[in-house]
Structure 1
Amino acid sequence: MSAPERADVVLGSVPKLGPLYAAAAGKQAAGWRRRRAVRGRGPGAPEEVLRLPAVRHVVRGVAADPGRLAAYQRLVGDALRDTLPSVYVHGLAFPVAVGVMVRADFPLPLLGMVHLGNVVEHSRPIGVGEELEIAAWPENLRAHRAGTRVDMVVEASAGGVPVWRGVSTYLAKGIGAAPELAPGEPRACLPPAPTARWQLDAATGRAYAAVLGDYNPIHLGVLPAKALGLKRPIAHGMYLAGRVLATAAPNDCGYRWSIRFEAPVFLPGTVEVALGPHNGTVDFEGWNAASGRRHFAGRVGALPPAET
């Protein structure tokens, strides 16, 4: 099947996440009222068909802020260098993707969506002074036993050539759930000897938000997290990825990395982390020593020379 044609929506600048989250809250409130009205029509009321908008949001001339870059590097324990860490590129592009997800024709609710994982190809080192074109679009809407999954694809290009591509997978719980799908095999967590222990305080989510602007309420404090069904705030998944990549990423060449999230890291909290070589790559995982639950696992490795 050929890829659908997408219309480009060119934005004048990268949108601010605060107004986007406010728009998401308003959209979800309106959707709740609409669904209540539909249920009130009684048996036979038509259900909404989930379709993704055939658009790409595009922003040109995006550049890193050196001060914010240094703040990010200090936050995750990375070296201060004049090339962009992969998660920092994600942070530059994330508001463009969120702008797609708060569109009126995007069928899933942004707030409360579960971040399942990422696959990223960082094709070459990206200089702090390079101007990037950011494009974001949704694809691969599919059923899950707990709801509906979707991929948000983001590409960053320099001089017309893609230099970074990320696919973030999200789950909207309770939307179009397909209980006939059999649950996956539970992943046994038999953790290796830890190579690091992270002590994350209650302000970790706010610190990440202050640097990269992601003020999703689930990361900020107890009250906003409880309003979205969580007992305490949780760490940003990309903060956790950034901590790992600060140690494991080969920053002098192109590289590919992936991460899957299995259980949230509640704040404050302690995460045991292990990194180890595996066939030319580095495997990593993080877990809760008290419960034995794995929080995340993934892999990072250099791209072959022909692909850089």
Structure 2
Amino acid sequence: MIPVQPVILGDMPSLSKLYVNAAAQAARRRLLGAQGSAVLPAENHEVRGVTADVANLTAYQHLLGETASDVLPAGFLHALAFPVAMSVMNRDDFPLPLLGMIHLRNSVEQRSPVLFTDALDITAGVENLRGHRVGTQVDVVAEVRLAGKEDLAWRGISTYLAKGVFLPGIDKPSAGSAKAEFVAPDPTAVWQLGVDTGRAYAAVSGDFNPIHLSVLSARALGLRSSIAHGMYLASRALADVGSVRGGSFIWDVEFDAPAFLPCRVALGISSEEGGSGAWERSRFVAWNPRSGRRHFSGTVAAL
């Protein structure tokens, strides 16, 4: 993230209010026929002295299958930072519509363990606005530090796509090479996801995006049914990788196809060792066991 003077927010933004404002902003844009410029907000947003709620942490660990611990899971830190990131995307000068954006990929550096007792400074900003063959994509960068410290403890880059939005001055990239055909491995786990999965994750993450909550709210935004949160799926895969990952690691995930609820999701995990015989990397992939369509894939590697 390019260092800039941040906008200091007094309190953690309310995600429910941000979604309401995003809906109103989308209605205004449709009414006025306004199109954003190809310029991102220069300011970062920051909230200082953030602490985790112990009851919420416990509920998160239980839902995701994380071992009970005083250390905050990397996915929990993403959820903790998410309202700050959303507040940047909710600005009037953010050029893309917040509602309906598609989560393409996520890259996290967990540089050091963070305890639930730690007070944290959370900063978020946006960068790297660029074309996509079906719209425009942008990187949302969130950083977590121990309060008053300069060293990073956690850093996450989330890439989002505004499908069907083409901004002036941003060219469409040339078509890339076709992805190799996916051949499902033997699963190491099969998850049964109920229709309430989106609501359960929203309760622990605060992400009440309507596409995840119910059939009716998802259909209002053009989907045939509600879908599981991408970060719920990725964080559950990270939990299945387990404690072998240690306290510092890089966690990358790329999302392919949504998981429409209710559904079954098959997961395959394979691990690699380095020259000394120590764990070096785990690869994971998840797919629909009926159709064979891949939902997401990624790696967890030693940092």
TM class, shorter-length: over 0.9
1:249 touches 1:301 (CA, 8 Å); kept in 2?
no
CA positional deviation for 1:18: 0.3
CA positional deviation for 1:5: 6.0
Q: Distance in 2 between matches of 1:109 and 1:181?
A: 24
What is the match of residue 170 of structure 1? Answer: 160
CA positional deviation for 1:292: 1.3
Given candidates 249, 267, 277, the residue that maps to 1:273 is: 267
Deviations 1:8-61 (A, max 9, x none): 1100111110000000001111111121xx6xxxxxxxx653110101000000
Q: Which runs of 5+ in 2 are unaligned?
A: 274-279
Structure 1 SS opposite 2:23: helix
CA separation of 1:191/1:214 partners in 2, compared to 1, >3 Å: closer, same or farther?
same
Q: Does 1:23 align with 2:21?
A: yes
Given candidates 66, 70, 79, the residue that maps to 1:82 is: 70
AA aligned to 2:50 is V
Q: Does 1:232 align with 2:225?
A: yes
AA aligned to 2:227 is I
- Matched ranges for 1:169-208 at <5 A: 169-176=159-166, 181-208=174-201
Q: Distance in 1 between matches of 2:181 and 2:222?
A: 26
Q: Distance in 2 between matches of 1:5 and 1:248?
A: 34
AA aligned to 1:25 is A
AA aligned to 2:65 is G
1:4 touches 1:54 (CA, 8 Å); kept in 2?
no
- Matched ranges for 1:1-308 at <5 A: 6-35=4-33, 48-158=36-146, 159-176=149-166, 181-250=174-243, 252-279=246-273, 280-303=280-303
AA aligned to 1:137 is G
Q: Distance in 2 between matches of 1:66 and 1:255?
A: 24
AA aligned to 1:164 is W
Deviations 1:96-126 (A, max 9, x none): 0000001000000111000001000000111
2:187 touches 2:268 (CA, 8 Å); kept in 1?
yes
Structure 2 SS opposite 1:235: coil
Q: Percent identity?
A: 48
Q: Distance in 1 between matches of 2:202 and 2:36?
A: 34
Structure 2 SS opposite 1:55: coil
AA aligned to 1:172 is A
Structure 2 SS opposite 1:275: strand
Q: Distance in 1 between matches of 2:3 and 2:195?
A: 44
Q: Distance in 1 between matches of 2:144 and 2:242?
A: 19
How many residues matched?
291
1:141 touches 1:150 (CA, 8 Å); kept in 2?
yes
CA positional deviation for 1:91: 0.5
Q: Distance in 2 between matches of 1:23 and 1:59?
A: 20
CA positional deviation for 1:290: 1.4
TM-score, length basis structure 2: 0.92
1:264 touches 1:295 (CA, 8 Å); kept in 2?
yes
Structure 2 SS opposite 1:267: coil
Q: Which runs of 5+ in 1 are unaligned?
A: 39-46, 304-308
Deviations 1:276-295 (A, max 9, x none): 01352000000012111100
CA positional deviation for 1:6: 3.1
Q: Distance in 2 between matches of 1:220 and 1:240?
A: 15
Q: Distance in 2 between matches of 1:180 and 1:119?
A: 22
2:266 touches 2:288 (CA, 8 Å); kept in 1?
yes
Q: Distance in 2 between matches of 1:101 and 1:260?
A: 21
TM-score, length basis structure 1: 0.91
CA separation of 1:188/1:278 partners in 2, compared to 1, >3 Å: closer, same or farther?
farther
Deviations 1:231-254 (A, max 9, x none): 000000110011111121546421
CA positional deviation for 1:184: 4.1
CA separation of 1:277/1:116 partners in 2, compared to 1, >3 Å: closer, same or farther?
same
2:8 touches 2:47 (CA, 8 Å); kept in 1?
yes
Q: Distance in 2 between matches of 1:204 and 1:4?
A: 36
